[in-house]
Amino acid sequence: MAGLSRRTFAATALAALPALLATGAAGPAAARPAPVAGAPAGGGRAPAGAMRGMWLATVGNRDWPSRPGLSAARQRDELLRYLDAAVKRRLNTVILQVRPTADALWPSPHEPWSAYLTGTQGRAPGWDPLGTAVAEAHARGLELHAWFNPYRVAAHTDPSRLVAGHPARRNPDWVVPYGGKLYYNPGLPEVRAFVEDAILDAVERYPVDAVHFDDYFYPYPVAGQAFADEKAFEAHGDSFSTRAAWRRDNIDLLVRETAARIRATRPGTRFGISPFGVWRNASTDARGSRTRGGVQTYDDLYADTRTWVREGWIDYVVPQLYWHIGQSAADYAVLAEWWADTARGTGTALYLGEALYKAGDPAQAAAWQDVRELSRHLELAAALPEVGGHVFFSAKEVAADPSGALARVVADHY
């Protein structure tokens, strides 16, 4: 994810964020993050119970493992080094991607072992990464949130490249090729039930502190291509006037059902989602943000993120506010305030997703060359009582901190 969002599929997608916007851009152990944001501490310092998180991405071996095919001992060592880095940076939560592409980083009875571990999909790595991550995170006083991508199947469109017995090969009618990738069709009830079963298996097995979804629901739009779900709409969309409304209902059902099943399976485990930062532009909907986002989650990903927050369907939301303060199309300050307004009085905790990966990157705007930019984000957020913390993308930059931006955040706020 270095230029789109952390949830990117391959390195080539990491530079795609500018296309998403009409005019350019698209933590020693601490206490358990508070379920509801508290008042900001004086002087811009984060409250003791605030979320101080990092995403640990496995898709494309973005953060971990550093490459596929490492020995079990080397994989484990790398994982523990990231957990130690979180402690060193005074973070308290690690969001580990455990189902990047309809696969698993634990011995799932539903889906194959991830190829990002061994280099071969379905090949056992010789250890249990998720089980180890939970145990070792908790031993360090960290929360471990298990991060799942619901519908992504593969970074190609050839089902024969999937391991024999893969659910997508056994059920080819579940799969839609789109934009050079394979996706499960969110409009099929049997797909939704399967995805939930695959996720809940991890919740049943391990005392994860939360289940976490990223920003991919229906895929990001690809110019000149249509997501081929006509047959599913004909079969299941009779009560909806438009396919768009039906698609949004499909995602709403996934969110509500997953939340209910998590509560029934392991009470106390939270459910959080990290959407793209723009719900709708105010020019589209008066309730939207004063932005000019080329992508709007409501209209393009069929993800009504505002409703999920307002109705309390999720425990926390982490909008990806991967822009600098003053960005013309999507100003961090404008979006932080909009999300605070959205979360106010709902009981849904609000944390802000931070683009640590942009800090010091010469390809980014001038604001990101200032080591103080991210620290200013936290200073601004401290004036918004609804903001209960921040999550940084991603682990590689947390560990290395090449620009010193995170060290500045820690010194100023942690």
184 pLDDT exceeds 80?
Answer: yes
DSSP letter for each residue of 228-294? --HHHHHHH-TT-SSHHHHHHHHHHHHHHHHHHHHHHHSTT-EEEE--BS-S-BTTT-TTSBS--BS
Q: How confident is the model at residue 33 (pLDDT cuts 50, 70, 90)?
A: very low
Cα separation, 163 vs 302, whole angstroms = 30
SS3 182: strand
Whole-model pTM: value is 0.91
**For residue 100, what pLDDT is reported?**
98
12 pLDDT exceeds 70?
Answer: no
Cα separation, 18 vs 96, whole angstroms = 26
**For residue 22, what pLDDT is reported?**
35
Give φ, ψ of 222 to 5 degrees.
Answer: -120, 125
Cα separation, 231 vs 135, whole angstroms = 45
DSSP annotation of 349 reads E
Q: How confident is the model at residue 44 (pLDDT cuts 50, 70, 90)?
A: low
Q: Can you name the residues that pair with 392 across neighbouring β-strands?
A: 54, 354
Cα separation, 279 vs 248, whole angstroms = 13
> How confident is the model over 29-58, as a mean pLDDT?
60
Q: Which helix (H) or strand (E) holds 176?
A: strand 175-178
The more confident residue out of 204 and 40 is 204
End-to-end, the C-alpha distance of the chain in Å comes to 26
Q: Can you name the residues that pair with 112 across neighbouring β-strands?
A: none
- In whole angstroms, how far apart are CA 414 and each of 40, 139, 358? 13, 21, 21
SS3 96: strand
Q: Can you name the residues that pair with 340 across neighbouring β-strands?
A: none
CB of 375 closer than 8 Å to CB of 369: no
HSE, side-chain direction, 13 A CA sphere, residue 59: 28
Q: For 40-44, 92-96, 98-102, 337-341, which range has the lowest pLDDT when averaged over its residues? A: 40-44
Cα separation, 109 vs 361, whole angstroms = 42
Q: For 34-38, 190-194, 336-340, 389-393, which range has the lowest pLDDT when averaged over its residues? A: 34-38
Q: For 6-15, 250-259, 306-315, which range has the lowest pLDDT when averaged over its residues? A: 6-15
**For residue 47, what pLDDT is reported?**
72
> How confident is the model over 231-235, as a mean pLDDT?
98
390 pLDDT exceeds 80?
Answer: yes
**For residue 48, what pLDDT is reported?**
66
Q: pLDDT averaged over the chain?
A: 91
7 pLDDT exceeds 50?
Answer: no
